[in-house]
Each structure stands twice: as structure tokens, then as C-alpha cells.
Structure 1
Amino acid sequence: MATALNSVKNSTASSIRGYGGLASGLDRDTLIEGMTASTKAKIAKQQKKKQTYAWKQEAYRSISSKLVEFSKKYTSYTNQSTNLSSPSFWARSNVTSVGANSSYVSASGSSSLSDSMSIVGVKQLASKTSITSNGMVSDGKLETGSINFGSESVSTLEGQALYFKYGTKTYAVSMTSGTSSDGFTYDYSTAESAEKSITRALKNVSIGNGKTLADVIGVKTTGVNSSDPTTELAKLSFNSKDTAGNTLQIIGGSSGALNALGITDIENISESNKTITADGFSNELNNRTQKLFESKTFLERVAGKKVSFNYNGASQTIEFDSSRQSEYSDLAGLSTYMENELAKKFGTGRISVSASGGALKFETMIPNTNTVDTSSILTISSADIGVIGKNGALKVEAGESNRLNLTMSLINSGLNSDFTGKNSETELKLKINNVEITGLTYGSSMNDIINKINASDAGVTVSYLKNADKFSIVSKVDGSAGKIEFDPTDDSSILFHDYTTKNGQDAIVSVKYAGSNDPVELVRGNNTFNLDGLNLTVNGTFGYEYGNYVKTADNQYKQIQDSSKRYRYDDGIGYTEDAAGTYVLTTDNSYVSVSGGLFDAAPITGTVPITFNAKTDTDNIVKAVTSMIKDYNDIIELVNKEVSTKPNRNYEPLTDEQKEGMTEDQIKKWEEKAKAGMLFNDADLRSLSDSLSYIFDSGSADKAALASFGISASTSYGDNGKLVLDETKFRAALESKSADIQKLFTRAADPVTGDKGGVMARLTDITEKYASTTRATKGILIERAGSLYAPTSILNNSLQKSINSEDAIIDRLNRQLKTETDRYIKQFTNLETLISQMNSQSSWLSQSFGS
């Protein structure tokens, strides 16, 4: 802790200026120190008083903080799990469903009506309006593009990396392959496409403040032959677009990328030649021979490389063994080679690979049959550089499968739809629940389409069910109020195909209250809802028999033969069929009035209702009360320690001079003793101690009741009224007298009768009196010393005013000390001057008479 004492020595010694004693031989500084000792002693005395006030402030705050924290924890509605003053904390909150049908309804929470209500039936569960595709929505194909076994130009940059230094930071730029989540396809097959792809790779690297490397680095290709975009004359260069005065350099990269740029000796290139300017590479780098493309055959591209497949969640890798190239030197051999390798990894007969029109076709099969397995998912997940990708050897993108590829554009996603007349720029028109989904094209990825729909105000959630290969669309609105409607003129049929709509419905629950013979049917949009304080979740139906029923005048239900037929009663003739009639014929051949309406379900007579068994959450209550008593006892102990500890007058606050000759440990131990007893016999703390020791008056009914529940005051005199909890006795009381315990803890004060309330009301009164942080006049201790819990009190409290007053006195004494010191310095300086002059005259006289 920083001391409140300022250094008297430093403040005075530093003010003694000039040189003393040169002529007189006097120890000027020591003499002035002695002559100002009285003033410095006064300063030290005031500084000790100031430090004492600060320590008192600290001691008061340690007590007030515990009172505030106690109040927040045990009497505040922001801490429901420990708020002992809240009736809901003591309520019977362990609720279980009871009865033969109890598995259909679960309950939680608390309710005073839990004993007087029952669930006599659940007619139907709530469900949201939903749409599910009728068939598989993908084309179910996993095929490569046309594979070229001859020589073709291959990018030397794809899959490589370059390192740039911008300012003081280094950034790695990966020239990745494949298609990004927003549908951008990386392509390095020509100089022009490589320029776009590298620019996109730069855009992927953030440099802070919302900027990317693409904002400070430009990419440009030169020497491109329009008739041959992969000509060896093509060169790649970078230029600086920086406007902030930062240096840009190329400092390294993967060997493949550096070789492509002709930079094979990056470590030997000077800093200046690595620097990229607005004009591009330095002349030294610009004159290097680049090789952005090279010619390779299929076998050269795949030799020794690997490709990974995922089959129903299991991943395996197959290798193009360099020693077996003769086995896959043509398309037929390649298909056989890959099928055999996949059989080794996933089992014989599960994956078929065939050659089709220059490409490979992969199909999942049911072993030992010729039947395609439409339930299995096969994905080409990854591969070594150059094997897959738009221009890879296998001419297939990573992530391609026999399901939809959600990262690809709609047209290329594998959706089994007719895209005739559509291209990536064609607008995708969607209007769901009269809300237009804008900003989409047939070039948008499936992920982007799904995300845009889900984020819109259409009020639906779209999901692709990969295993089922179907789309699911669910209304965000509960129950029968939800809807999913497409505009007949939009493109929804292309996107979602044929589908079945299932209309939403509300939960219908029959509840019976004690004292009433007629149950109440509740209609709720969700299967989880609050019922008179209980949180109920229904998960099954019971208590109803389905069919066509009518309710009779005596509240009985009868099943009818045909709900489409009605009858009228003709006096003297009997019942005649009439569509507009008011009677129906029941299955027991009686005619019953339909004035009560027709029902598709009727309560089953004799159904065992679900009742609720609500118990007090004993464990949680015991835990909270145990914690409260511990914290309460800690406060009592702290208060009584502060008020009963006598100060040791031999230990006062240390001055800085005293600290100079002491170790840190010595200072710490001294100040611990000096701080002790700061609040000895403090009247307010005595009063607080008495209030805490006697919550209830001795001999009162409340005190006796609390003791009977297992909470009593310690009989040890030294405990000063600490509480003792008999947990066994308290638990037993919670089981048999929970209502009485709740009342004793939560009873509010009554100013009319003078009742001070229950346990928590009385403790609240104590904490508010001594540590209130919200009232205009704060608690006694906070008014005295301030508190972090009441920020405005930090600089506005009694002790702070005393500290401020001491500061004013110390400032005045410091000014006085400076004045005294300056006066003495001037006097000594005059003396030295006079003596010096006298010495000069004496020397002159001696020299004159001597000569």
C-alpha cells in the first residue's frame, strides 16, 4: 500500500541551494536542517494524522463492503438462487409428474396451485408448419471432369504461399484452391485468372482497421499472349498501393512459389531489392526469369500423390503409387485402380468407379448386388496439390460428393433441376410469405442462398438434410399461426422441387382444477408453456379417443356413424335425413343434438390424470442458508475484531526517512501493527455489533421458532452472537414445516403493528442502516468512509474531508518550510560573502606589511 506520508527530507534537502561553508567552514546544511526541524516535525505529525485517517477509511470500507455484498447476495432479486428474502426461493420447486401417464408431461418451477390441478388429457401436440422435399433433391452423381492423360499446361503457383512484410509485420498469403463459401472459385490456369485469384488471396489476409493486403498490394500480369494465355512469356508482378508511408517487401514463401517468380536466393537479396514500390518489383527482381506455368502429363501430376475420400463419415486416403503407373495410364485402368484402392479402404463392393465419356463416375453400391445405395454419402474431401481442383489432374473440386455441394454455385451444386437458359448472372427470384429474398443469382452458393433466406423476414428456417438428401423448411412461428407460402411466379420450384406441406397445429391440453368437475381445454402454440407458475412440457398424447363424436346435453360423448349426414325431427314421423338438420345418428342408433358441435376426439372415461408432487428444494436451500450463516458470522467476527482490538501506541505511521533504513518485510510488519486498533471502541461499530448479535429479542417467539428449526445463536461468549446451524434439524423442519420457515425468513416489516419482520427483513434493516448505497443519505459507515459500491461517496465522506483538511495544512507547512529554508540560505550566503571579503582584506594586509 502506498503511504500517505510525503518525504519531509526530500522536500527540504532539495530546496537547499548553492554551496555552504567554503569560507566559514560551517556545515550550513546541517545547521539549516536543525533550524527548520520544528516545522518539519509539524509536517510529519500532520502526515501521520493523514495516514491514520486513510487507514481508518480502509478499515470502515472493509466492513461496509461485506455488508453490501451480503445484501446483494441474500436480499436482492438479481440473485434468485440465494435471495432468502424472496418467497419464491422457498417455494416448492422440485416438481414431479405423478400417474400412469406421467411420462407425457414434465414440470418444473413452482406454483401454489400444483396440488389442486391435474392434466386429464393431451389431445394433440404443437407442431410448426413445415415443408419436406418429396424425393432426393441432388442428382446423386459424383463425377470428375474430362481427364487429359496427355501434356497440359499446369500452374506453378496453385497451393503455394508467399510472405510479405508490410510496415513491421509479416503476412503469409496462401494461394489456395477450390471454391470459397461465397462461391468464388480459385483458378490459376491462365495468367489473367491467376491475377484474380491471387488478388482474392490477398483480400483474405486482414491487416487491421478493416483493411486487407489487397488494399495495399496490387497484382498485375504482363507479357500475356492473347492466343496462349499460359505462355512462358507471362510474368507476374506486385506493386504497392500504400498511402500511409509503410514499406512493403517480399521476404519469402514456399519453394514452389519463389521458383515460379525466379527468386531462388531470397536470403541473398538486399533489403532494397526486396522492397516493392508503386512501380512494382525492383529492377533486380523484375529481370528474373519467371515460370508461372509448366507442361505436365497426368502421370507426372499425380505420381506419388494422395487423394482423400469420405464415406459415410469415415475418411481414408489412397495413393497414386509411382511404381504402379502402368495400372492407371489410361481412363479404364485409372477407374479400375481407384475402385480397387477404395475397396481396400472401405470394403469390397461398396464403391463402384467406372469410365464414362472421358471422366470417372463414382457410385455407392449395396455389396454383392448391382443396386445403387442411395443412402450412403461419398465425398472427395482433399488431395495433394495439383490432384483436384478446377484445373487439377482429376478435374474435380474438393467437397464434391453424391449430395449437394453447398459451397458451389446453384448451377454447379449438383441440384437435380433444369437450368436451361440460366447462367451465373441470372437473378434467382424468391418470394416467401410475401417477402422478397433479394441479392441472389444462380451463381450464388447454396450456403449463401440458405443463409439469406434464414436471415430474412420471411419467418422460415431452411436446412439441407444431407443424409436424406432433402430440403426441410420450418416456420419460425409456433403452432397453427405459422405459414410457408411461395409466390407461384418465383423460382422456388427450381430450388426446392416437389414437396409436401404439413400445416402447423397447436397443443391442446385438458386441465382440471380442484373443486370443478369440468376440465378446461388450453390451446398453446408450443409444447412448453407456463401453467399457473409451473413450466410444463408435453411430449405425448393421452386421454382422448379419436373419431367423430358429439357431446350430449348431460356432458357425455357419443360416437356418430357419419358426420356428413344430418337429421331433422318431424313430429309424429320420427327422424328424417336432412343435410341441414340438427341431429346425428350415433353408433348406438340413437339421435343426438349437434348443438354442442362435432368433435374429432373425445375424452376417454376413466383416464388416470397426471398430478404433480411439489417438494421443497432442500439441498439448494440448505446450501444457501449455510452460506448466508457463514458470511453473517464472518461479518460479526470482523466487526468485533475491529472494535475490540486496542491500538499499540508504540507503532505509528512511518515517515519516509524511517522507511529508508528498513526492509520491505519490516515495513509490512510494522504497518500491520500500526493499523491494528484503528476502530477500537468505535461507537457506531459497537452499535452494529449489538444489532448483529441480537436479530431477535431474547425470549421472543421468533427466536424460539428459529431455534426449533435448527438455527440458534452460539452460547459461547467469545462468538458474540454468531449463528449455529443444525443441518439435520433444519432439513427435517424443511420437510415438515417449510411454510413456517418461509414465513419466518420472508415476513415483511409492518410499521402499523411495529413488527420488524422476519430474519431477512431485520438483516436488511441493518445493512441499509450501516451500508446503504442507494439512498440520498448513505449508510452510516459509507457516510463515514465512502465505498466503491457508491462511487459518489469516494470523494465525499467524513474521513476524506479530514484527509483533505490535513492536505491543506501540510501544503501550508511545506510553503512555510520553503520560506524558512530560503531565508536561512540567504543569511548563510551573506555570511559566507562577508567572511570571504574579510579573508581577502586580511590576506592583502598580510602581504602589504610582510613586503
Structure 2
Amino acid sequence: MAGVQLAGMASGLDTSSIIQQMLEADRQPMYQKQKEINKIKMEKTIWQNIDSKMSSLKSAATNLKFSSTFDSRTVSSTDDSKITGTATTSASASSYVLENVVLAEPGKITSGTALNFTDGVKANVEETSTLTDPNEKFSVGGSVTEGSFKINGKVVDVIADDTINMVINKINVSNAGVVASFDSTTGKFKIEAKEASTSQNIEFDSTDTSGFLTAVGMETHLGEKIENGENPDYQKKITDVSNLSGVSNGFFTINGYTFEMNTADDSIESIINDINGSSAGVTAFYDNDTKKMTLTAKESGDDITLENDTSGFLASMNLMNQTDDTDATTEKSVYSGSDATVTINGVNFTKPSNKFNINGVNFELKSATDTGEKITLSVSQDTDKAYGEISGFVDKYNNLISYLEDKTKKDGELQGDSMAVNLIYSLRNKLTGTVSGLDSDYNQLALVGVEASDTKTSTLKIDKSKLTEALKANMEAVKGLFTQDIGTGTITDEAVGTGDGTTVDYSLNYTPSSIDKVTLQVGTTTYTASNSTNKLITSGTPQAGEIYVNLQSGELKFGTAPASGETITSTYDYDENNSRDGIAVRLKSYLNPYTIYNGTMDSHIKSLDSTVKDMNEWIDSMNSRLKMRSDSLKKQFTAMEQAISTSNSQSSWLTGQLASLGTS
């Protein structure tokens, strides 16, 4: 009977329900554990968002450290249609007056005489129409009705109110690659391919439900393809152009770049494409109207040098040894560009190009000036660039802080989380603290217009006019507020000053990283933190034999003024996290351990993953135990049902036996 479940058939009990109720109590810890898993997964998502926002803030801090942020220059021109400019970070704020501008011209050569090439033939068909008035609507009378026809696969719809001219317009805009026309004098209706080429055909569909093609005499061409086009000479293979019989397989060189000629494969068009796509530095084109080819240097002032024409192509195109060729040999032709000339602040300059750099300013001459005309280029600091980067930095900071404050508020998902709370506190202090060693008017964000939003939040707001004014007034000071970077290292025997018998206040150039790493030498006396008689202290008022060291600013205060003539030197370690570092520097340094691979955030998120994994393994283990318990309970209840069934059977037998005895 193994595996058989009687399910209360003998006892009358719902044994399956009883088993489920017994197991449900055992499942309660699993349900609670699943709730904890869901909470941790939600917390993981929050920390991943925090990590992403911290990385964005670190990137914004990095952008502030780029030289282009605070050192960028902007250039304005009194006539930017003729002269424009840009400036590198090395350019100083100044003005340049330009006059007597003559543009540099690129080297250029056009075929000396027209090339006797033939135009192509366009595929066309022309027939006499039975319609005479191009503006009469088909609804007035006649055989044209509502319907359609196709040319080169494009559908042209015809309605009753159309005219010949209307249908012509529909054909011409249908992208069928053809042009239709009607000559009312001769009554001729014509359809012609747009391009002259053997590949540009005219193909009519076999059906015309409108009757239009029949009315204009084209019915005999239904289902026909017209293929009488012919390529123009500049598109034909070189071997097929009679006027290029002097060209053979070979090579030619333009500005040192060699092109190979294959007369069976190449055409003038393909060669021009090769030239324009190469590094030869020239632009080539063929004018079908003048039948001439032109080469123009891509850069103003550059020359064009043609040589090594073993193919005879350059000679056949009438490009060699033409007027303005500055080379005397027949095998080589040089067509020189001309230099630009300009007077800048009274000094005459000759430049090989219309683009040149002077004092970190990139000038671009676009047009010659008129006689006596002067154009001024003014170079100034680009406050918009700096403002934009600072604004972006504040936005990223606010985005992170607002998210942290929302998650740590009352009933927030991270309420009471010490790591999240400490992040808010530390980030706020990094941004709102003083940067030592700067002008006192520029050593805090609030002084330049980046202020606390209100007392209920740690977010910041920007006073645009105040920040803009600070950038204009002292860009270097604002730059230092963000980017001053003291770095890490050791200062050895720094000259602090010389005693005069009365002065007790002095200052180190940098901020010490630790009082244990500071040694002060005053005359022949050595002061250290561990010395009991000549001692360095970091709190309280210094007494005789003591020197107070401010680890936030590097300031010193002596308990007793050094004697007149006593030299004061110091050796100490300093690091990049001290108060002299700029806002962006200290913030990036603070965020780096959090955001790097396997850093604080990465490790925290992995720890949450590990916790979830352990909980899932515990749930799996509990499920296995419950399965075993379920199987055991089922066996016990099955055995009970079998016993009751057997007992019931025996009772029925005895009852039957007793009944039979009574009747005998």
C-alpha cells in the first residue's frame, strides 16, 4: 500500500487539510524571510542609484578641474562675415585690429581648352496626342476617365477633374525618373528620362485604366521598355571615348599621391571620385557645359603639383603645362596658391593660409577688407563656460543630496542608516567648508553665489548674477576655490619665518596631515607632539614651551614669541584631503573610494547580494525539510486510515457472524 493516501475515507477526517495546516505554521519563518529578501533587494536598488549619482557627481567634479573650464577664452569680431577667431587657454585677454586683408588663394588649374566630349542621349518617346487643350478638364468630355497607369513602376493616378498639365505634373513628381511635356502647337506629347545614361530607361506597365496614355498617343508603348539612352563621354569607359585615345593604362601623381589608370574600367567620373576621396588634398570636378575639368587645392594657399603622367590622362585633359604653371619642365606642372597678407595692430603679416595662430588666438580670414576698413577681434575670459560647469556640478550634487535626504527621512527606506546619513553630512561639509590659503572674498562657495537652498535641506542654489560677477571680477580666485590642489607629500625644512621677540603668529605654507608628522625647529630648539618640554599641541591656548598647530589651516601660535633673529623651519607631511584643497579636488578625493571598482559602494552592494543569497539558500533548505515532513505526515495519516479501515472491516465481519448465529 506504499504511496496510497486514503484521505479520510475510513476516519471521515480531511487529512490533506490537516497536513496543510500543520505545515503552514512551519512556513511562517519562510514568509518572513522572503519579506526580508524583498526589502534588501529594494535597498540594493537604492544603493545602486546612490552609486550612480555619486559617480555622476565625481565626473562633474573632474570636469571642473579641466583647464578648459576656467581658462577658456571667447573671441568676438566686429564683422564675423570677414574675420572670426577662437582662442586657446594660453591666450591673454586683449584686442586685435586687422586691416588690409588679402585672402590666401588655393592653387587651381582648369583645362586649358575645352575638351571635345559629347553629351549623352536621354531615353525618350514622343507621340501625337488626340487632346489639344492642356488645361481642359477630362470631365468636360473625351475618353480619359478616373484610373491609373505606371511608368517605371511608379503609379500615376488620374481623376475626372485633371487636365493634361495636371497629369504631367503628377508624372514629373512621381520619382519615376522621367520628365513629361506637351507641345500644344504641334500636339506632341513627350516623355524623356531625366538622366542621359544607358541605365536610365522608360518602362510602361501593360495596363492603363484611365485611358490617358491612349489619348496622348502612347497606347502602342504599353508593356514596352524604351532603351535608347546613351551615357555622356565623361561617364563612359576611357576606351569608349574617341577623344581620349591618347590615354593608356598607367599612372599619374597629384601632390605626391599616385593614381592608377585602367582604361577598360575607369571613366572621367570614376577618376574624379577617386581624386576627391583621396589624400591628395584637391577637389576635382567636370563641367559638362564648358567641357572642362578643374582641380582646386582644398586648403587656401596650398599648391597643386601634377607629375609622373605615364597614362597620358592629365595631358589629354589639358591640365599639364597650362598658364600659371610655375615649373619649367614639361613632365611636371605646379600651380601655386597665394599667401594671405594682413596688418594686425599695425604689423604686416604674410601667412600661407587664411587660418593661422598668433599669441594663442586662431584667426580665420573669410573675406578681404575694403580700403581703410578695420575689424577688431576681442579676446576675453569665457565666463559662460565656467558658469555652465559649476551649474552642472551643483545640479549633480543636489540630485544626490535630495535622493539621500528623501531615503533617510522619517519612514524613508534608509531611515537611520548611518552610512547614508554620514554621506549627507560629509558631502555638505566638503562643499560648504572654507578653502584655506585663498583670498578671503573667494574662499567659500557662498561668497561667490553658491548658497544653501534653505535650513531644511543640504541642497544648494546658485545666485546667477553673483556667481557671474565673481567670475568676471576674479576668475583665478574662483578657479582656486574649486581646483586648488595641494597634493600629497613631505615638506622638508620649510622656512616659516624669523623671530622678532614679539610676534607669536606664523603660518605653514601647507596644512599638515597629522600632528605626529610635524617637526618645528626654532633656533636650536626642536618641537614635536611627543616632546614633553617643547611640545606641539592641536587644541587649547599654548603656554610657554608650546606651539599650537591648526591642522585645518596650517596656522601657528607660539606660547612664547621666538627671540629676535631665531629662524623658524618646519618639516611635515601633507595630504590632498586638507582644508587647502579646492571644492572639486576634495570632493573627488572623498568620492573616489566609494565609486571605484570594489570600493565602498561596490562592496556594500555585493554584501547585500551575499545576504540575499544566504537567505535564499536557507529558504531552499526549509522547503526540503517541509517536503520531508509532508511526506512523513502523509505516511502517518495513511497508516492510521488503513488501521481504521481494517478495524472497521473486522467489526463488520463480527457483526455479520453474530447476526447469522441469531437466525440459525
TM superposition score category, shorter chain reference: 0.5 to 0.7
Question: Is the 1:122–1:508 contact (alpha carbons within 8 Å) kept by the matching residues of 2?
Answer: no
Cα 1:834–1:506 change in 2 (3 A) is farther
Question: Is the 1:20–1:28 contact (alpha carbons within 8 Å) kept by the matching residues of 2?
Answer: yes
Q: Describe the SS at the equivalent of 1:535.
A: strand
Question: Is the 1:135–1:470 contact (alpha carbons within 8 Å) kept by the matching residues of 2?
Answer: yes
Deviation at 1:455, TM superposition (A): 4.4
Pairing 1:249-268 to 2, within 5 Å after superposition: none
Query: Within the alignment, does 1:536 sit opposite 2:363 as a pair?
Result: yes
Aligned residue for 1:503?
335
CA distance in 2, matches of 1:828, 1:610: 105
Deviation at 1:95, TM superposition (A): 0.8
Match for 2:414 among 650, 674, 679? 679
Aligned residue for 1:45?
32
Match for 1:728 among 436, 458, 465? 465
Q: Which amino acid aligns with 2:58?
A: S
Pairing 1:152-231 to 2, within 5 Å after superposition: none
Q: Describe the SS at the equivalent of 1:137.
A: coil
Q: Which amino acid aligns with 2:9?
A: L
CA distance in 2, matches of 1:825, 1:472: 98
Question: Is the 2:482–2:583 contact (alpha carbons within 8 Å) kept by the matching residues of 1?
Answer: yes
Q: Which amino acid aligns with 2:414?
A: L
Pairing 1:218-617 to 2, within 5 Å after superposition: 317-319=180-182, 385=204, 396-397=228-229, 404=232, 407-410=235-238, 418=243, 428-433=249-254, 437-438=259-260, 440-442=262-264, 444-455=266-277, 460-466=282-288, 468-475=290-297, 479-480=301-302, 483-495=305-317, 503-505=335-337, 507=339, 526-539=353-366, 612-617=377-382
Question: Is the 1:749–1:761 contact (alpha carbons within 8 Å) kept by the matching residues of 2?
Answer: no
Q: Describe the SS at the equivalent of 1:717.
A: coil
CA distance in 2, matches of 1:811, 1:17: 27
Deviation at 1:703, TM superposition (A): 6.9
Aligned residue for 1:225?
none
Cα 1:614–1:439 change in 2 (3 A) is closer
CA distance in 1, matches of 2:350, 2:61: 36
Deviation at 1:821, TM superposition (A): 1.3
Question: Is the 1:437–1:456 contact (alpha carbons within 8 Å) kept by the matching residues of 2?
Answer: no
CA distance in 2, matches of 1:612, 1:460: 31
Query: Within the alignment, does 1:640 sit opposite 2:405 as a pair?
Result: yes
Aligned residue for 2:456?
718
CA distance in 2, matches of 1:764, 1:635: 14
User: How many aligned residue pairs are there?
Assistant: 503
CA distance in 2, matches of 1:608, 1:148: 60
Aligned residue for 1:708?
447
Cα 1:798–1:834 change in 2 (3 A) is same
Deviation at 1:107, TM superposition (A): 0.8
Cα 1:143–1:617 change in 2 (3 A) is same
Match for 1:836 among 645, 651, 658? 645
Cα 1:534–1:810 change in 2 (3 A) is farther
CA distance in 2, matches of 1:309, 1:411: 35
Query: What is the CA deviation profile of residues 546-591 of structure 1, one whole-angstrom value per residue up to 9, with x for unaligned ones?
Result: xxxxxxxxxxxxxxxxxxxxxxxxxxxxxxxxxxxxxxxxxxxxxx
Q: Which amino acid aligns with 1:718?
A: K
Deviation at 1:505, TM superposition (A): 3.9
Q: Describe the SS at the equivalent of 1:748.
A: coil
Cα 1:837–1:26 change in 2 (3 A) is same
Aligned residue for 2:584?
760
CA distance in 2, matches of 1:146, 1:640: 77
Q: Which amino acid aligns with 2:415?
A: F
Q: Describe the SS at the equivalent of 2:633.
A: helix
CA distance in 2, matches of 1:613, 1:638: 44
Aligned residue for 1:90?
70
Q: Which amino acid aligns with 1:60?
A: W
CA distance in 1, matches of 2:172, 2:452: 73
Please, which moves more after superposition, 131-140 or 116-125? 116-125
CA distance in 1, matches of 2:290, 2:11: 108
Match for 1:64 among 40, 44, 51? 51
Aligned residue for 2:87?
109
CA distance in 1, matches of 2:393, 2:407: 21
Query: Within the alignment, does 1:783 sit opposite 2:603 as a pair?
Result: yes
Question: Is the 1:427–1:441 contact (alpha carbons within 8 Å) kept by the matching residues of 2?
Answer: yes
Query: What is the CA deviation profile of residues 246-305 of structure 1, one whole-angstrom value per residue up to 9, with x for unaligned ones?
Result: xxxxxxx99xxxxxxxxxxxxxxxxxxxxxxxxxxxxxxxxxxxxxxxxxxxxxxxxx99
Query: Within the alignment, does 1:75 sit opposite 2:74 as a pair?
Result: no
Question: Is the 1:306–1:319 contact (alpha carbons within 8 Å) kept by the matching residues of 2?
Answer: no
Q: Describe the SS at the equivalent of 2:648.
A: helix
Query: What is the CA deviation profile of residues 226-257 of structure 1, one whole-angstrom value per residue up to 9, with x for unaligned ones?
Result: xxxxxxxxxxxxxxxxxxxxxxxxxxx99xxx
Deviation at 1:807, TM superposition (A): 1.9
Aligned residue for 1:32?
19
Query: What is the CA deviation profile of residues 118-147 of structure 1, one whole-angstrom value per residue up to 9, with x for unaligned ones?
Result: 587888755544432234335465668999
Identity over aligned pairs, percent:
22
CA distance in 2, matches of 1:144, 1:783: 74
CA distance in 2, matches of 1:75, 1:733: 19
Q: Describe the SS at the equivalent of 1:84.
A: helix
Question: Is the 2:237–2:267 contact (alpha carbons within 8 Å) kept by the matching residues of 1?
Answer: yes
Deviation at 1:510, TM superposition (A): 7.6
Q: Which amino acid aligns with 1:535?
A: N
Structure with the larger RCO, 1 or 2 (CA within 8 Å, 6+ apart)? 1
Deviation at 1:507, TM superposition (A): 4.6
Question: Is the 2:202–2:226 contact (alpha carbons within 8 Å) kept by the matching residues of 1?
Answer: no
CA distance in 2, matches of 1:534, 1:18: 95
List gaps (5 residues or longer) in structure 2.
Answer: 128-149, 156-166, 206-217, 326-333, 490-509, 512-578
Q: Describe the SS at the equivalent of 1:718.
A: coil
Cα 1:42–1:707 change in 2 (3 A) is closer
TM-score by length of 2: 0.62
What is the root-mean-square deviation in Å for CA atoms of aligned residues?
A: 5.0
Deviation at 1:845, TM superposition (A): 3.6
Match for 1:626 among 387, 391, 412? 391
Q: Which amino acid aligns with 1:318?
A: S
Deviation at 1:483, TM superposition (A): 2.6
Query: What is the CA deviation profile of residues 780-802 of structure 1, one whole-angstrom value per residue up to 9, with x for unaligned ones?
Result: 333212xxxxxxxxxxx221121
Deviation at 1:724, TM superposition (A): 2.5
CA distance in 2, matches of 1:458, 1:704: 56
Cα 1:538–1:111 change in 2 (3 A) is farther
CA distance in 1, matches of 2:50, 2:122: 76
Deviation at 1:25, TM superposition (A): 2.1
Aligned residue for 2:596?
773
CA distance in 1, matches of 2:102, 2:311: 36
CA distance in 2, matches of 1:640, 1:307: 65
CA distance in 1, matches of 2:466, 2:29: 63
Cα 1:71–1:507 change in 2 (3 A) is farther
Cα 1:33–1:378 change in 2 (3 A) is closer
List gaps (5 residues or longer) in structure 1.
Answer: 1-15, 77-82, 150-173, 178-252, 255-303, 329-336, 343-359, 361-376, 545-606, 647-676, 786-796
Query: What is the CA deviation profile of residues 488-546 of structure 1, one whole-angstrom value per residue up to 9, with x for unaligned ones?
Result: 55333335567555634475678989xxx9x796755x4334545433213356899xx
Q: Which amino acid aligns with 2:180?
A: T
Cα 1:820–1:633 change in 2 (3 A) is same
Deviation at 1:633, TM superposition (A): 2.2
Deviation at 1:718, TM superposition (A): 0.9
Q: Which amino acid aligns with 2:394?
A: I
Q: Describe the SS at the equivalent of 1:36.
A: helix
Cα 1:821–1:482 change in 2 (3 A) is farther
Cα 1:469–1:845 change in 2 (3 A) is farther
Query: What is the CA deviation profile of residues 39-89 of structure 1, one whole-angstrom value per residue up to 9, with x for unaligned ones?
Result: 3122122222222221221222222211112222x234xxxxxx3332322
Q: Which amino acid aligns with 1:431?
A: F
